Amino acid sequence: MTTRELLIAPHRFAFGYHRQTFWNWLIGTAFFLGGVGGGLFLVSLLTGHVAGMLAGVLIVVVGKNSAHLAFLGRPERFLRAAARPDRSWIARGIWATGVFAVTGFLSVLLRAHSPLLQLPEWAANLNYALAAASALFIACYDGFLMRSSAGVAFWRTLLLPLLLFMYAALGGITLSLTIRELQGEAPPEILPALEHGLLVANFFLLGIYLLRMNRSLPAARATLRQWLNGRYARFFFGLVVLVGLLATLLLSLLHGRVQTSWLVLLIAACELAGDFSMMMLLLKSGLFAPQAAPAYSRGTAG
């Protein structure tokens, strides 16, 4: 069966695949900002870049949390979501965001040698460790959350948290390079090399993810067909692969020869566009499997 024949049910009384419409662009934006902000903070903390750390904290605390609150049906009750960290990835995410908001801001003050905050060395190191751990968690917990969402087969693999973490690291490095460029500060030599390495690694990891999905449940294979030659092929090949990975890699290689600020901004725009498109594709292309008697499910929907 080709993608064009994929049976998408027009409503809940009809047989066929059902599109995932519950998690929309707001959740996609929140996950994207969490990845990029967490990644940026981590990279900046490791390379001692205060402006990057501050930007990372603001992206997570203001950007990501605003998108989450805007999405919730009852945002005034959001603290209730912290109730079950032993079972829910959302609850773990709330705890991590709370820890990050405090330790992240303290880390910025400590790194900036602010007179507002004086801590003994062990306490400062403990704070850095907590901030780094919570940033790392924020950068990849949405992958675990999506993986644990049993209804959408395309998300049910451990490769998803890994893929989203790799994208978070890539986005963090790209933003860190961009902020340094705007500040007129030379980046550590390792960052451009890491960016190139991650772009190549993400390309292959994305390929492995799709190969894995090709051996997964029928609903996952149906989503894969939409990515490769169906409704979402233009977005996948155009934005995720061409703009987000290949163009970003070529432009960043070119930046080694041509040192201009506009090129750095263009690289950041391409990478972030690819990263965001990837997240939105993951959310929008998710399918629920058709429900049918075993005798009728074979050959009609798979």
Partner 1 sequence: MARLGMVIDLKRCIGCNACTLACKQENGTPEGIHYARVVTQEAGVYPRTKRTFLPVLCNHCADAPCAEACPTGATYIRPDGIVMVDHKKCIGCRACNVACPYMNRHFIERGLLKHGYSSDGISPFEALKFADFDEGTNIKCTLCAHRVDEGLEPACVVTCPTDARVFGDWEEENGKLQRLVKERKAWTLLPEYGTKPSVQYLDE
Type of residue numbered 54: L
Verify binding: residue 149, partner 1, rule CB under 8 A: yes
When binding is defined by CB under 8 A, the residue of 10, 73, 120, 184 that contacts partner 1 is 73
Question: Do residues 79 and 85 lie in contact, with contact meaning Cβ atoms separated by under 8 Å?
Answer: no
Nearer to partner 1, 196 or 221 (CB): 221
Structure tokens belonging to residue 59:
């992206």
Backbone φ, ψ for residue 287 (5° rounding): -125, 145
Nearer to partner 1, 59 or 219 (CB): 219
Rounded Cα distance, 108 and 186, in Å: 20
When binding is defined by CB under 8 A, the residue of 74, 113, 234, 257 that contacts partner 1 is 74
Q: SS3 of 287, please?
A: strand
Backbone φ, ψ for residue 19 (5° rounding): -75, 145
Q: How far is the CB of 10 from partner 1 (least distance, A)?
A: 12
What's the N-to-C CA distance of the chain in angstroms? 8
When binding is defined by CB under 8 A, the residue of 72, 119, 123, 253 that contacts partner 1 is 72
Rounded Cα distance, 110 and 117, in Å: 7
When binding is defined by CB under 8 A, the residue of 25, 203, 237, 288 that contacts partner 1 is 288
Verify binding: residue 47, partner 1, rule CB under 8 A: no
Nearer to partner 1, 45 or 163 (CB): 163
Verify binding: residue 8, partner 1, rule CB under 8 A: no
Structure tokens belonging to residue 274:
């690819």
Positions touching partner 1 (CB under 8 A) are: 12-15, 18, 20, 22-23, 71-75, 77-78, 80-84, 87-88, 90-91, 94, 145, 148-152, 217, 286, 288-289, 291-296, 300
